[in-house]
Structures are given as structure tokens and as C-alpha cells.
Amino acid sequence: MLQRVERLAATLCCIFLLMASPVSADAAVGEQVVTLGKDLTSQQRQEMLALFGVDESEVTILEVTNAEEREVLGGLLSPAVIGTRAISSAKITLAEKGQGLSVETHNITWVSKSMYVNALLTAGVQDADVMVAAPFPVSGTAGLTGIIKAFEAATDGKLDAKRVDVANEEMVAQAQLGERLGDQEAAAELMARLKEALGNQTLSESQLRDLIINVAGDLNLQLTDSEIANLLSILQKLQQLDIDWNSLQQQWNQWQRQLDNFLQANPEVKNWFVRLLEAIRDFIQNLIAQFTS
């Protein structure tokens, strides 16, 4: 039960970090779009559709090619990592406004659920149920390309290209750090806390570097110089994006209500969870005080 609550806490914290305006006001709740890797065999294609629980004749299906994956990830990963076939597939279902994101994965090894949540929120995806899958174990780096393609089709809109670029960079940085640390969730939590502490502040390069070092230290993570430089570059780009940081409070209030419902249904973990939230609150307040001083 404790592990389950810890996972919920991490997910809530990640989701809380970053929200943007909807891509389209006409997005229909329940709208589903599936993206399938172009190089799936016929049998694998049917396996993915069965896993997603959809009928091919009743849902919008798009294909993602390896060329699309290379266009997005070519500057971030080596060709060997990207591969030569498009296999990763995804399904997105639009949810009620304010519900937030939920992510499930199947046969995705390198990118965790929390990493996807972090990157999707940076890209501007919100209020959706997402599943990323493959018929056999794959890294999952190309999964974000399929999710974004599906979200844009479902909402009949277009995400900001700069935000999508930073989202992909963020996803790769998290995955690489998670692999080096041997702990995917630690890497995702680091990114989540950095964005949460960044908020609508405009910090100098030295302040951002100190922020990275301090947050990593709080999580007992030892970062290399190249990892710090990579995270610094991402935070600098995040500061330049057109993000409605003021929507954080509204989104947090919505998830707080969801959290209250969970705690009422699980009274045995309520005290532990409240202490966790208080610790997170104190940590953020200390960071803000440090930088404003």
C-alpha cells in the first residue's frame, strides 16, 4: 500500500508542475485516436489494437514512420538508439477538463510513466488518458511522437513546436539520467521538482545552476558536469516558453480534491501522506525564500 501511495504522490507532483491552455476548445471528451508504428506486422498491429481495446473500424488510426521519429529525435539520440523501424504505438483518450493526465505503458523499458507525464505537460498535452505500448520491449523514446500526433488529431489543433522540442529534449535527458542512476523515478522526480521550483521566475544562469545542484542534493543525487549542463539548458529553454504558470494553482486545487477523495477512501495512509505533502511544501517554500533573498 505504501509503495502505491508513493507512486501516486510522485504522479501528482509531476502533473502539478506544468499546465497550458487547451489546444482546441472543440475537443470532445472521450475522443480517441490511436497511432501505430508503420513497421508493425499485421499480427503485431492487431495485437496493439486488442491491447488498446479498440475496434479498427470505430477509431481514428494514424501511422508513425521512422522518418518522423528521426526528424524529432535525430539531434538528441544516435541513429543506433532510434533504430530503423517505427514500432512504438499509442492511444489517447480525451478526458474532462481539469482531470489531468494518466499514463500507462506496456513493453516500454527506457522511459517511465512519470517521464512521459513530465514531457507531455511541457509539450502542452493535458486532460487525457494515454497508453504507450509495443509488441515487444522497446526504449519508448519514439512514443512521445505518437502521443503528440494523436493528441493533435483528437483536438484538431497544433501544439507549439518549441514546446514539443523542449519536451523531447526533457524526455531524453530524464531517460539518460535514469539509466545512469539505475533509478527512473529519481530522474523523473528531479525534473518535476526543478520545474516546480522554476515556476514563473526568471533566473540567471548561475541561479539555475545552483537550483539544479540544490534540488539534486535534496534528493541525494550526484550529477555529473555534463548532466548539470544538460539540465541547465532545458531550464533556460523552459523560461523562454509561452507557458501559463498562473494556471498551476487552479490545477493544484483540482488535484487536491482528487487527493482528498483518495485519502478518505484510504484512511490508513492519510497521516503519512499529509506529512509527505507538508515536507514538499516546506521544501518549495525554502527554495523560494532562498532565491528571492
- In the chain, where are the structural domains located? 22-160
User: Could you identify the residue written with the cell 521512422?
Assistant: 66
The answer to whether the beta carbons of residues 113 and 103 sit under 8 Å apart is yes
Pairing of β 128-138 and β 101-108: parallel
What residue has cell string 535534496? 218
Residue 126 confidence (pLDDT): 87
Give the pLDDT of residue 247: 53
Strand order in the sheet with 89-94: 60-64, 32-37, 89-94, 128-138, 101-108
CA 256 to chain centre: 19
Residue 34 DSSP SS3: strand
- Cβ within 8 Å of residue 173, ≥6 positions away: 191, 227, 230, 231, 234
DSSP 3-state of 136:
strand
Rg (CA), the chain: 19
Residues 82-101: tens digit of each pLDDT: 888 999 999 999 999 888 88
Which residue bears the cell 493526465?
A: 101
The band of 274, judged by pLDDT with boundaries at 50, 70 and 90, is low
Look up the pTM and report it: 0.75
Mean pLDDT in residue range 169-181? 95
Lowest mean pLDDT across 10-19, 184-193, 259-268 = 10-19
pLDDT of residue 157: 92
Span 256-263, mean pLDDT? 54
Residue 49 has pLDDT above 70, yes or no: yes
Give the mean pLDDT of the chain. 82
Could you give the residue ranges of the DSSP H alpha helices within the chain? Answer: 2-16, 42-52, 66-73, 79-82, 113-123, 143-155, 161-181, 184-198, 205-218, 225-240, 247-265, 270-292
**Cα 107 from chain centre:** 17
Structural contact between residues 70 and 79, judged by C-beta atoms closer than 8 angstroms: yes
Q: How crowded is residue 226: how many other Cβ atoms within 10 Å of its Cβ?
A: 9
DSSP 43-85: HHHHHHHHHHT--TTTSEEEEE-HHHHHHHHTTTS-HHHH-SS
